Structure 1
Amino acid sequence: MKTKFKTLGIIAIAALSFTACKNESKSDMQKEEVKQENTVKNDQNQDRRIDFRHEKEAEVFYTYLDIKNALVKTNAEETQRIAKDFADNHEEKSEFHEPQIYTLMAKIGELEDVEEQRELFNELSQKIEPFLQAALKEGEIFKQYCPMAFNDEGAFWFSVNEEIFNPYFGDKMLHCGSVQAIIK
């Protein structure tokens, strides 16, 4: 009888320990998700330390960052909404951005598939680089690169945060990449 109680006691303790560890693990995962989400938000908030020649140039870049951050979260709906809002509220021809930038943002706003959005975001990143070099008045923008994007062809993007948040892989490979250059 004593042996049965000991065995049941050991099983009960083991079950409680296992359950407690399992809950702690779940809690840690939730904390990590919150940390990741806050970090992505931090990228948006940190853009205030940069300055552009004109407010409308800043709008273009802030919209670019919003699209990038939505892709980091692999959120096709948010990406589409941000790009569509930009296209709806700006003219194709503007002295503050290239028509190609507008066109690419408008096309991203039409797409529902996140992988197609990422392909156009890659094109947008290529077109926006000379714009950023000309428009930036003060601060730093980090040109970041992932060699594994698009079947190892590689792709780059821009961020105001030196830490890597990969828009081409999102949470699959969130920190894959490196800083290649700094636009000042």
Structure 2
Amino acid sequence: MKKMKLSVSTLVLAVLLVASCNSKKQEETHQHDHAMEAAEEMVSPAENGEALAFKNEESDKVFHHYLAIKNALVEGDAETASEGAKMLLAVDGFKGQEAAKKIEDASDIAVQRDAFVALSASVEQLVASQVSSGAVYKQYCPMAFEGKGGYWLSDQEAIRNPYYGDKMLTCGRVDKVMGEL
């Protein structure tokens, strides 16, 4: 009788262990699938068509550093946004110095996001006519800044909102495409 209780207990424990492992494996598979879907949404134009390129090196550098700031704001990472702004300030001839300096100096993500509106406008003026291949997407969130709205630029059509980050990651729309698709 004791052997039978022990065998039944062992069997039940083994079934629970297998079920638990299968559940964990299914969860990991689901997480992997979700991560793959997110990665597919964030495919850059270089991987999904024509590579983004600019007519001059200055525009390329400015847009590259601008994207670093935008992506940091999407992630809610004030420190990385500040570092991106510092790199942007080092580009000779960039005219959005005031907004970039505000982002560099601020440790508060809300202050950085406020300054990012003006930075986006400056970067748009510089790169709008400089796209030689690929596309730059001008995107808009109507809910940003208490309903006043806010624009930003992206190298991807998929919306990744720098003004709300993970709170409203996909809030927005593409308003304009600059360059070739």
1:115 corresponding residue in structure 2: 110
1:54 aligns with 2:49: no
1:76 aligns with 2:78: yes
Query: Is 1:44–1:66's contact at 8 Å kept on the other side of the alignment?
Result: no
| Superposition deviation, residue 29 in structure 1 | 5.0
For these two proteins, the number of residue pairs brought into alignment is 176
Residue type at the aligned position of 2:91 = H
Task: State the secondary structure of the residue aligned to 1:163.
Answer: coil
| Superposition deviation, residue 37 in structure 1 | 6.9
Q: Percent identity between the aligned chains?
A: 31
The structure where helix makes up a greater share of residues is 1
1:90 corresponding residue in structure 2: 91
2:157 corresponding residue in structure 1: 162
Report the aligned-residue RMSD. Answer: 3.2
What is the TM-score when the length of structure 1 is the normalising length?
A: 0.74
Cα gap change, 1:141 to 1:90, in 2 (>3 Å) = closer
Q: How does 1:1-184 map to 2 (within 5 A)?
A: 24-25=26-27, 28=30, 32=34, 36=38, 42-43=43-44, 49-87=51-89, 89-91=90-92, 94=93, 97-98=94-95, 101-184=96-179
Cα gap change, 1:75 to 1:61, in 2 (>3 Å) = same
Task: State the secondary structure of the residue aligned to 2:138.
Answer: strand
Q: Render the CA deviation track for 1:59-95: whole Å, top value 9, x for unaligned.
A: 00111111111111111111111112332x334xx2x
Query: Is 1:74–1:170's contact at 8 Å kept on the other side of the alignment?
Result: yes
Query: Is 1:141–1:160's contact at 8 Å kept on the other side of the alignment?
Result: yes
Unaligned runs of 5+ in 2: 1-10
Query: Is 1:50–1:140's contact at 8 Å kept on the other side of the alignment?
Result: yes
| Superposition deviation, residue 153 in structure 1 | 1.0
Residue type at the aligned position of 1:90 = V
- Tell which structure's C-alpha radius of gyration is larger: 2
Unaligned runs of 5+ in 1: 1-8
Query: Is 1:44–1:65's contact at 8 Å kept on the other side of the alignment?
Result: no
What is the TM-score when the length of structure 2 is the normalising length?
A: 0.75
| Distance in 2 separating the partners of 1:51 and 1:141 | 10
| Distance in 2 separating the partners of 1:142 and 1:39 | 15
Q: Render the CA deviation track for 1:21-73: whole Å, top value 9, x for unaligned.
A: 58855774576467647865x44966981221211210001111111111111
| Distance in 1 separating the partners of 2:160 and 2:20 | 34
| Distance in 2 separating the partners of 1:112 and 1:129 | 25
| Distance in 1 separating the partners of 2:104 and 2:84 | 7
